Amino acid sequence: MRKFWILASVLALSVPCANAQIKGAGSSFAANLYATWSQATVKAGDSRLEYESVGSSGGVKAAQDRSVDFGASDRPMSRSALDLAGLAQFPTAIGGVVLMSNLPGIPNDKIKLNGEALAGIYLGRIKQWNDPVLKALNPELALPAIAVVPVFRAEGSGTSFALTTYLSKLSPQFKSSVGATSNLSVVGGKSGNTSAEIAKIVRETPGAIGYFDYSFAADLGLPTMQLKNQWGKFVSAGPESLQFAMRAADWEKLLINQDPTFELDLTDAGCPGCWPITSATYVLVPLKGRNGNSVRVLEFFEHALQQGDESATKEGYVPLPTRAKNIVLVAMRRWYASLDKAGVGKPQRRSQRDEPSIAVAAL
């Protein structure tokens, strides 16, 4: 089923739904997650969710403009930006950036990289696969003497932001010349708009290397490359290594914050089993200004966080750990109270008899 949503997001954006009562836009990574959660709660005649996969930058802008009821972004907003826009922010799932290459005769899952080498590739400094830096990381492999072709996301992307945040930590030169950015461009490289396009370009281009979100790779069973983490361990991306990175976050700081932004940097996390390019995907919901559907949005995600782990896992997503979800749910209580005080209306609590259900229009 998830492959249908991936294909749909490639072929089109959003087909408007006549009965849509909740509208969202943003992260392409999150699109299939919200589709899965919506399908799990759908009932004939109930409210529908319309979600447009426009990328994280587009999701932030749509939330700021109030052209949607919620935005979705893989790049968290700062406290000052949230306050200026009158938005609340919370994570919904764990993501990660994984790498795939096209080296004839060499399995992807056998190739090892570290942050410095990956930065060199995306800076254009490492131009051949048999470069001494890459050979030193892979002494057991016969790396071919073919050109390295970096593939990157064309539009503003939370995936690019996570990758460049990580590379900026490991490479001073990358930090000074590129830095953490949602808009990555590589001279001599090739670009794609979606994870599916990136994968297609890599498969069709000998010597190519590209990055995309973990859930996409997991769903299609794509072999990915190993990365050396902060502890000097070469690890593969998977539910366990992504969960390890999430658990390594400073949750104590969030627990004592009465109004957390959940602005977490999970890249290069400090644990032996951590996947080094881990991130969270976020929902942005209005608390001030036009916010007539904010209660409904919060109710949907409250229910999804409590009931949606199994369905999300089946589709290749990594749910938030229990501790993280509990902090989000506590924050939601305060946001409900804030909306009620503003006159938006008290939230209608769910029951087995009266359960709102939401379906997703084709992307």
* Pair 284, 224 in one domain: no
The first and second tokens of residue 276, run together, are 């080094």
* Pair 189, 159 in one domain: yes
Other C-beta atoms closer than 10 Å to the C-beta of 219 total 20
Q: Which residue has the higher pLDDT, 84 or 9?
A: 84
Residue showing tokens 């000998």: 206
* Pair 17, 66 in one domain: yes
Tell me the per-residue pLDDT of 128-181, one tens digit each, with 9 for 90 and over: 999 999 999 999 999 999 999 999 998 888 899 999 999 999 999 999 999 999
Q: Tell me, yes or no, whether 273 lies in a domain.
A: no
The first and second tokens of residue 124, run together, are 């254009």
The first and second tokens of residue 147, run together, are 């050109």
| Average pLDDT, integer, range 293-307 | 93
The first and second tokens of residue 358, run together, are 């939401």
Q: Tell me, yes or no, whether 25 lies in a domain.
A: yes
What's 158's domain CATH number?
3.40.190.10
Other C-beta atoms closer than 10 Å to the C-beta of 256 total 7
- If one counts the domains in the chain, the total is 2
pLDDT at 3 over 80: no
Q: Tell me, yes or no, whether 271 lies in a domain.
A: no
* Pair 194, 312 in one domain: no
CA–centroid distance for 326 within its chain: 20
The first and second tokens of residue 359, run together, are 């379906």
Contacts of 323 (CB under 8 A, 6+ apart): 247, 251
| Average pLDDT, integer, range 89-111 | 94
Tell me the per-residue pLDDT of 335-351, one tens digit each, with 9 for 90 and over: 999 999 888 755 454 43
Q: Tell me, yes or no, whether 206 lies in a domain.
A: yes
What b/e sequence results for 13-37 when a residue is b if at least 16 CB atoms lie within 10 Å of its CB, and e otherwise? ebeebeebebbbbbbbbbbbbbbbb
Predicted TM-score (pTM) of the model is: 0.83
Tell me the residue type at 331: A
* Pair 108, 217 in one domain: yes
* Pair 53, 118 in one domain: no
* Pair 110, 212 in one domain: yes
Q: What are the backbone dihedrals phi and psi of residue 71, each rounded to the nearest 5 degrees, phi first?
A: -105, 160
Q: Tell me, yes or no, whether 265 lies in a domain.
A: no
The first and second tokens of residue 281, run together, are 């995907």
* Pair 63, 109 in one domain: no
* Structural domain harbouring 314: 2-93+279-341
Model pLDDT, residue 46: 47
pLDDT at 352 over 80: no
Q: How confident is the model at residue 1 (pLDDT cuts 50, 70, 90)?
A: very low
For 2: left if phi > 0, alpha if psi spans -120 to 50, otherwise beta; the answer is alpha
Q: Which residue has the higher pLDDT, 46 or 318?
A: 318
Q: Tell me, yes or no, whether 266 lies in a domain.
A: no
* Pair 59, 171 in one domain: no
Residue showing tokens 């050396």: 228
Contacts of 317 (CB under 8 A, 6+ apart): 32, 33, 36, 93, 94, 95, 215
Tell me the per-residue pLDDT of 302-333, one tens digit each, with 9 for 90 and over: 999 999 999 888 888 889 988 889 999 999 99
Cα atoms in the Cβ-side hemisphere of radius 13 Å centred on 14: 23
Beta-bridge partner residues of 235: 227
Q: Tell me, yes or no, whether 351 lies in a domain.
A: no
* Pair 122, 215 in one domain: yes
Residues of the chain with pLDDT > 90, as a percent, come to 65
Of 187, 219, 245, which residue is a domain's last? 245
* Pair 220, 299 in one domain: no
Model pLDDT, residue 50: 85
